[in-house]
Amino acid sequence: MLKHYLRIAWRNVRCHPLYTTIHTLGLSLGICACIVIFLTARYDLSFDRFHPDNDRIYRIVGDVQEKGGGTIFLNCPPEQAGLEHGIPGFEQQAIFHTIGQTVTVPSGGGRAEQEFGTGSERGYGTSVILTEPSFFNLFPHV
C-alpha cells in the first residue's frame, strides 16, 4: 500500500513540476519560519533564569529627551524611583546606573590599584554599573 502511495506521489511530481516546486518551497519556508520563531523565543526567554524568584523580578527602563533633541537611555527613569512605596505589589527595587568610564578602586594594605571599565585591561564590560545596597537583596548570589 505504501509503495502504491509513493508511486502516485512520484507521478504527480513528474506531471506537475511547477506546482510541486511551489508547494515544496512554501513548505520549506514555513518550516524555516517556525524554526526561526522558536529559536528567537527560546533565546529571549532564556535570560536570567538562574536568579532566585526570577518570575517576580522585572526591569523598568525608559528614555529621557535632552534639551538639544537627543535621547538618553535610562535603566530606571527618575519618575519611577520609589515605586515600592507608590504602587501596591512592589516589594523592593534596586536602581542602577551605567557610566561609560573607567573607575579606579584604591588599594589598601599595599595592594595595587584596580581599574574597571572601558579602558581597563581587566574590565569585561563597556561600562561601569553603580547601584545601591538593595541590589544585593534582589540578586543575593552576586
Domain edges within the chain:
2-44, 54-138
Residue 113 φ/ψ, nearest 5 degrees: -70, 150
Average pLDDT over residues 23-33: 97
Which is higher by pLDDT, 110 or 52? 52
Please report the pLDDT score of residue 65 as a whole number.
76
Q: Which residue has the higher pLDDT, 54 or 36?
A: 36
Q: Read off the pTM.
A: 0.50
Residues contacting residue 91 through CB under 8 Å, at least 6 positions apart: 84
pLDDT at residue 139, rounded to an integer: 82
Residue 35 scores a pLDDT above 90: yes
Q: Which residue has the cell 569585561?
A: 124
| Span 72-102, pLDDT tens digits | 666 655 555 556 566 677 777 777 777 666 6
Please say whether the dihedral angle defined by the alpha carbons of residues 85, 86, 91 and 95, taken in this order, is positive or negative.
Answer: negative
